[in-house]
Amino acid sequence: HQLQLMVTYVEQWYKIVTARVQGRTFEYNKLRKNLKHCDKKLRELLRGKKGSKKDIKVQRGEIKLAAAREAHDSYGEGFLIILNEITENAWKDFFPLLTMALKHDFHFYTDQARVFHKLKGHIARMEDIQNEHDVVLGGR
């Protein structure tokens, strides 16, 4: 029963952390790709002939790039805070698991010690039977 609780705890922890990290990783990658796209597009606009239409496109490109960079950096900061929180608190998350494992081991080995203690009495009785009936340990 205790082992099942431990497995369930780990599965739940894994699902929660994975959901938090995977979703944010996906979104962060989208923002990163958009930032790279805006940067590339602006660099392409800056290479070439000048003109009033192009100046307007460059201005819009600069605005889009600034917005993309702001979104990317802001989301990235939040993502790093979450990763840091997960990393710093991992030991606290696993502390209950360690406690459950120690309790399980304690109960398991306590039960095992009781069984071995009872075996000691059986061994003595078997030695008495062996001596009483002249049984040789190597067989007849």
Reported in sequence order, the residue ranges of 2-130 that DSSP labels E, i.e. its strands, are none
Long-range contacts of 92-97 (CB under 8 A, 24+ apart): 93/13, 94/13, 96/9, 97/6, 97/9, 97/10
| DSSP assignments along 90-124, one per residue | HHHHHHHHHHHHHHHHHHHHHHHHHHHHHHHHHHH
- What pLDDT does 114 receive? 92
15-53 confidence digits (pLDDT tens): 999 998 999 999 999 999 999 999 999 999 998 778 888
Return the DSSP state at 47: S
pLDDT above 80 (res 127): yes
Q: Which amino acid is at 20?
A: R
- What is the value of pTM for the model shown? 0.63
Total residue count of the chain as it appears in this document: 140
51-102 confidence digits (pLDDT tens): 888 889 999 999 999 999 999 999 999 999 999 999 999 889 889 889 989 9
- What pLDDT does 140 receive? 64
